[in-house]
Amino acid sequence: MEDMILYNRLQFAFTITFHYLFPQLTMGLSLMIVYFKWKFLRTKNEDYNNASKFWMKIFALNFAMGVVTGIPMEFQFGTNWAKFSELTGGIIGQTLAMEGMFSFFLESSFLGMFLFGEKLLGQKLHFLSGLMVFIGSWASGFLIIATHSWMQHPVGYEILENGKFVLNNFGALFNNPWLWPSYLHNQAGSLVTSSFFVAAVGAFYLLSNKHSRFGKIFVKSGVVFGVISSVMLAFPTGDLAAKNVVKYQPVTFAAMEGIFETEKGGSEIILIGQPDMENKKLDNKIAVPNVLSFLTYQRWDAEIKGLNEFDESIHPTNVPGLYYGYHIMVGLGTIFIGIMVLAAFLLWKGRLYKTKWLLWILMFMIPFPYIANTAGWYTAELGRQPWLVYNLMRMVDGVSPTVSSGNTLFTLLGFVGLYLLLGLLFLLLVLKIIRKGPEAKMTLK
């Protein structure tokens, strides 16, 4: 049973990690595409129109990859997690069905119109089609996170005699106190990814002296969106999300922060340290006294419970993974703010386009928002363990009893090989689009 659970978790973790590489760019990029198209309508500068069409090509590739890699996860609910689907399908099935029927079709329909319908629609309707793509992509994220939020903090439900969960308050699903902070934090993270991606492509054009007009547009837009979204990632969205964890999952918060013993008179914030699970302490820690208490409760002497205050049966199953995931996310988020604030300052001074060392930094930052977003999702998922539905359904109660660990391991290896090929193909196509530049015409060939 332990092997079966492990392989099921590994398979879902791998497929969803790979899948989310694509939506995290498309959601933020859709807003920036709308911005470029709006700038064109306002200024009549054709460069902005070409910029919107250029990024929609990359959006379309990301969208296609997101669809291809998202379908296997839907099947895994029935194959690997059949008991979970059977018992909770009356609740999570509603939001997932709404995401597929409404958001996905809205996004995909208007994506085709934006890519190929500019002459037929005219510029204003072309802008409207881009706006619909944005609304569809953000609505899709909202409904997925509504599902996730119910698993983190279940509301509006009752449990029938046969053990099945049913929804008795539909409004509660969308008024879940866990939902909006998580959603806004996720969307800010998506905007950070797209901002750094757009700025990186712009920096590449400026450093290589190709498509320099677009390079300046992309760097400027990426930095403006980036400084706003990276600050929002920390405050207020990150702060609100963390306070939800403190309120509803205090044992998770203790593990995230590496607090083993309850500290009287205020809790320190850990900057660096390594969890020692055998001795229940942090090794080689560097900490600032009382800061965590102030950030959490706005009081320097507020008490925060340590892991040892809670029964070990409800401890997160992977405390080191949770701790490192959280600190990687926070550490990279802090770096993002520093880079974008500096870039915004130089942009304001009119020196950014010629500051080559910072352009190199912007260009090579592309992978790090992906790492930070992945670490953030690992923090959320590892923090909920050992529960599938927090405090109601454990991991062991949701797996499919008839799927062997060997079958799961075999298909996991298949996914790894197939996704490696898909990933390489995706990178080649994106690099081809970037190399051709924003003035290349869209064709059906």
Q: Which residue has the tokens 């089609």?
A: 129
Max CA separation in the chain (angstroms): 69
Phi/psi at 438 (5° precision): -70, -15
How far is 109 from 113, CA to CA, in rounded Å? 7
pLDDT for position 263: 81
Helix (H) or strand (E) holding 273, with range, is strand 269-276
Reported as a pLDDT band with limits 50, 70 and 90, residue 444 is very low
Domain spans in the chain, listed from the N-terminal domain onward: 2-8+17-262+305-436, 263-304
Q: Is the pLDDT confidence value at 161 over 90?
A: yes
The CA-based angle 429-430-433, given to 5 degrees, is: 90
pLDDT for position 237: 97
Tens of pLDDT, residue by residue over 99-110, are 988 888 899 999
pLDDT for position 441: 59
How far is 224 from 201, CA to CA, in rounded Å? 15
